[in-house]
């Protein structure tokens, strides 16, 4: 932990030296909630989000806040190790070309529904999931946009790795928006003028609480299945080009979710929004940007962070600011110098340029008490929307 703020109802514990004013105010809003437990934890990649900072962790005893999970429910990453220690650039290009043909990116979906066995089972009455289900069968196994990526990486363990970062697509967004609206209605019904609107919540025992928890968990499962399906398509692309390739060491970690856990001898609902669970010995992934290292880590189980760590490097500027301020030619030259098959083509791509992100090495240094680095991964080839 780098600093602690004790001016609010409960302390704010931060794993970074500076936090932008908007994100700091959001952290204070969390700390002043009557339902917030013990302290708020802010990870080193934190920046402003909706209601709660991205990179924030908070716990409650009996309530859940949709905006403390976020709009991309279940968003997370998975990694897979190959048995290759080197892949020639021409083979990488062929692999990436196949991936682009089989995995839609951005707003694109599959033209046809995917095999329904990939979809998580619906064993409860899920109003929004049921409404979006048919569309979701064409969205599963698609990458989406923003900071989502497919990356081929070389590890310090000597092996070539695959990493995927993706979420729950429109089904998660629709669930999040619907239940945030319902939580705002609950706030108004109880004439709650102290809770910020963007932090509206459901109390345990209410219908909204039960329904949101069920639909949130479905979206988390959907996001995992979507990553697994993309991994299958990526494995097929590798096999087409490198017939003797083998795969192992699959890791999956969500970073937008809420779950029951026990901390400080208390059963709690821990909300992680852009934060990764890092229990002692638990594997996780912390990516940088498409021009910098990513890391496979093991958690230290630090109770002050509610056993959490960062989910990435974190942004230094908004997407619009990056497009305005950064120079495409300079960013492309930087990537080319590193020999990375990258995704910077147009000015609109600058929102995902390495210069729009914090220095991942500094971020990792700030959380030495949260995780131990196991493998450092250098980007070789990247797909983004």
- The residues annotated as belonging to the active site are 311
Tokens of 144: 């989406």
Of 126, 167, 161, 125, which Cα lies nearest the Cα of 144? 167
CA distance 213 to 223: 15
Torsion angle in degrees (nearest 10) through CA of 27, 29, 32, 38: -30
Cα–Cα distances in angstroms (integers) from residue 206 to residues 36, 62, 64, 218, in the given order = 18, 10, 11, 19
Query: Angle 252-153-16 (CA atoms, 0-180°, nearest 5)?
Result: 65
CA 362 to chain centre: 19
Count CB atoms within 10 A of the CB of residue 107: 11
Starting at the edge strand found earlier in the chain, the sheet holding 12-14 runs: 3-5, 12-14, 40-47, 54-60, 266-273, 256-263
CA atoms within 13 A on the CB side of 1: 18
**Bridge partners, 41 (sequence order):** 13, 57
DSSP track, 260-312 = EEEETTEEEEEEEESEEE--TT-EEEE---TTS-EEEEEE---GGGTSEEESS
Of 127, 324, 299, 286, which Cα lies nearest the Cα of 210? 127
Question: Is the C-alpha dihedral spanning 109, 111, 115, 121 positive or negative?
Answer: positive
Do strands 256-263 and 54-60 pair parallel, antiparallel, or not at all (unpaired)? unpaired
CA distance 56 to 26: 10
């Amino acid at each position: 932990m780098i600093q602690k703020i004790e001016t609010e109802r409960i302390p704010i514990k931060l794993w970074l030296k500076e936090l932008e004013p908007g994100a700091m105010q959001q952290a204070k809003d969390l700390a002043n909630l009557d339902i917030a437990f013990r302290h708020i934890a802010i990870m080193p990649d934190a920046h402003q989000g909706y209601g709660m900072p991205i990179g924030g962790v908070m716990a409650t005893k009996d309530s859940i806040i949709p905006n403390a999970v976020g709009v991309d429910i279940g968003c997370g990453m998975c990694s897979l190790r190959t048995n290759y220690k080197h892949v020639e650039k021409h083979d990488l290009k062929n692999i990436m070309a196949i991936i682009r043909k089989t995995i839609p990116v951005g707003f694109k979906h599959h033209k046809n529904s995917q095999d329904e066995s990939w979809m998580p089972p619906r064993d409860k009455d899920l109003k929004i999931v049921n409404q979006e289900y048919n569309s979701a069968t064409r969205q599963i196994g698609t990458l989406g946009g923003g900071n989502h990526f497919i990356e081929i990486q070389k590890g310090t363990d000597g092996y070539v790795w695959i990493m995927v970062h993706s979420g729950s697509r429109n089904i998660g967004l629709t669930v999040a928006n619907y239940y945030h609206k319902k939580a705002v209605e609950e706030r108004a019904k109880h004439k709650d003028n102290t809770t910020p609107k963007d932090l509206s919540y459901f109390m345990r025992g209410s219908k909204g609480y039960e329904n949101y928890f069920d639909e949130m968990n479905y979206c988390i499962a959907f996001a995992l299945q979507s990553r697994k399906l993309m991994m299958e398509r990526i494995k097929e692309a590798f096999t087409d080009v490198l017939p003797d390739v083998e795969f192992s060491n699959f890791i999956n970690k969500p970073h937008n979710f809420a779950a029951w856990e026990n901390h400080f001898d208390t059963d709690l609902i821990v909300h992680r929004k852009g934060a990764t669970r890092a229990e002692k010995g638990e594997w996780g992934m912390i990516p940088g940007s498409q021009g910098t290292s990513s890391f496979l880590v093991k958690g230290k189980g630090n109770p002050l962070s509610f056993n959490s760590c960062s989910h990435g490097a974190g942004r230094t500027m908004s997407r619009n600011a990056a497009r305005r301020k950064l120079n495409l030619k300079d960013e492309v030259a930087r990537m080319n110098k590193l020999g990375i098959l990258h995704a910077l083509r147009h000015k609109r791509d600058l929102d995902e340029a390495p210069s729009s992100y914090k220095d991942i090495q500094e971020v990792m240094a700030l959380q030495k008490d949260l995780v131990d680095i196991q493998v450092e991964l250098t980007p070789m080839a990247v797909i983004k929307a």
